[in-house]
Amino acid sequence: MEHESCRQLLGSLSEYIDGSLETELCAKIEQHLSDCENCRIVVDSLNKTISLYHTSAQNSTVPEGVRERLLRCLDLSEYL
Amino acid sequence: MSGSEDFSLEALRSGDRAEFVRLVETYYAMIYRLALKILNNTQDAEDILQETFLKAYRHLKNFDGRSSLSTWLYRIATNEALMFLRRKRVDFISVDEPLENEQGEQEPLEIVDWCCLPESELTSAEAQRHLDQAIQNLPPSLRVVFVLRDIQDLSTRETGEALNLSETAVKTRLSRARLRLREELTGYFGERVQEGKRT
């Protein structure tokens, strides 16, 4: 992260990953990435970070008893 | 966002219990996971879940339908979770409070390619603890944005509606949260890469 272009990339990286950047800026970033290994590593590890959190959340389950206690708390025990 | 929005607002507003149960059954797991990711404590998450639906039941008659029901529930749950943190912590930062150096991004310090680690290492129980801890290390104002956008899959607009933030503010905070989390995970997984090279 030594060059000005690397710092500029960092500010737009999140939107680049989301695919919400303008085409022209996107092309500039891709051009930079083709020449800068450090930035490629940052992009890859940022993508991986988001993906790890997303996957871990999808695998999480609600503990037993939470639903039952919620319905009781809402005075909806007849729906248990 | 997952979940159906085919509820009868008229029935909900008039206190129809069966329709309210349908609402609870559809969204309780999502609200529980949201609270758990923000608070990292199962009992606290359950308290927030219960408080969210109690408030929703009381205020449904005032729901104006400008946002979806799910976004409205997320807004209640997020506010409850942030208020809970405010009561617990003296160093709390409000979600509305402008962030220091809002325009600038923290530069990554660590450049280690850890994406090559085996999936079993990236998803181990120990790694999961680090993921959870890294989220807790974020200021609440960044944490809630990250959880809503990247874990609960809300759009930028929906996240803004849930937190009463502009889309620009959501994008800025999301960027900062993601970069900080990447930095923290690089610290942890980078060591696993180095260990692998030594063995």
The ipTM value here is 0.92
Which CATH number do you get for residue B78? Answer: 1.10.1740.10
Q: What is the pTM of this model?
A: 0.90
Domain span at residue A27 reads 4-79
Q: Which residue among B21, B112, B131 places its CB closest to the CB of A56?
A: B131
B46 Cα to chain A: minimum distance (Å): 7
Confirm whether B65 is domain-assigned: yes
Q: Which residue among A15, A41, A62 places its CB closest to the CB of B29?
A: A62
Chosen from A18, A21, A44, A45 to mutate, greatest number of chain B CBs within 10 A: A45
B186 Cα to chain A: minimum distance (Å): 8
Chosen from B21, B24, B182, B192 to mutate, greatest number of chain A CBs within 10 A: B182
Domain span at residue B38 reads 9-88
Residues B69, B138 within the same domain = no
Residue B102 is predicted with a pLDDT of 47
Residue B111's closest chain A neighbor by CA?
Answer: A38
Residues B133, B81 within the same domain = no
CA atoms of B153 and A31, how far apart (whole Å): 30
* Contact of B127 with B121, CB cutoff 8 Å: yes
Q: Which residue among A38, A53, A67 places its CB closest to the CB of B28?
A: A67
Confirm whether B110 is domain-assigned: no
The per-residue pLDDT string of chain B (199 residues; one tens digit each, 9 = 90 and over) reads: 444 478 999 999 999 999 999 999 999 999 999 999 999 999 999 999 999 999 999 999 989 888 999 999 999 999 999 999 998 874 555 555 545 454 455 555 689 999 999 999 999 999 999 999 999 999 999 999 999 999 999 999 999 999 999 999 999 999 999 999 999 999 999 999 988 888 7
The total of structural domains in chain B comes to 2
Confirm whether B34 is domain-assigned: yes
**Domain-ending residue, one of B69, B88, B107:** B88
Provide the Cα torsion B78, B172, B177, B102; round to 10°.
Answer: -100
**DSSP per residue over chain B, as a string?**
--S-----HHHHHTT-HHHHHHHHHHHHHHHHHHHHHHH--HHHHHHHHHHHHHHHHHHGGG--SSS-HHHHHHHHHHHHHHHHHHHH-SS---TTSPPTTTT--PPP------TTS-HHHHTSHHHHHHHHHHHHHS-HHHHHHHIIIIIS---HHHHHHHHT--HHHHHHHHHHHHHHHHHHHHHHHHHHHHHHHH-
How many contacts (CB atoms, under 8 Å) link A and B?
Answer: 111
The total of structural domains in chain A comes to 1
A window 24-43, beta carbon within 8 A of B: 38, 41-42
Q: Which chain B positions have a beta carbon within 8 Å of A55's beta carbon?
A: 123
Residues B74, B126 within the same domain = no
Residues B32, A38: C-beta atoms closer than 8 Å? no
Q: Which residue among A15, A41, A52 places its CB closest to the CB of B111?
A: A41
Confirm whether B114 is domain-assigned: no
Q: What are phi and psi of B96, to 5 degrees?
A: -85, -15
Q: Which chain A positions have a beta carbon within 8 Å of B18's beta carbon?
A: 79
Q: Does residue A80 belong to the interface with chain B, where contact is any CB pair within 8 Å? A: no
| pLDDT per residue as tens digits for the range A30-43 | 999 999 999 999 99
Which CATH number do you get for residue B125? Answer: 1.10.10.10
CA atoms of B116 and A25, how far apart (whole Å): 28
Residue A17's closest chain B neighbor by CA?
Answer: B175
| pLDDT per residue as tens digits for the range B10-62 | 999 999 999 999 999 999 999 999 999 999 999 999 999 999 999 999 999 98
**Domain-ending residue, one of B67, B88, B109:** B88
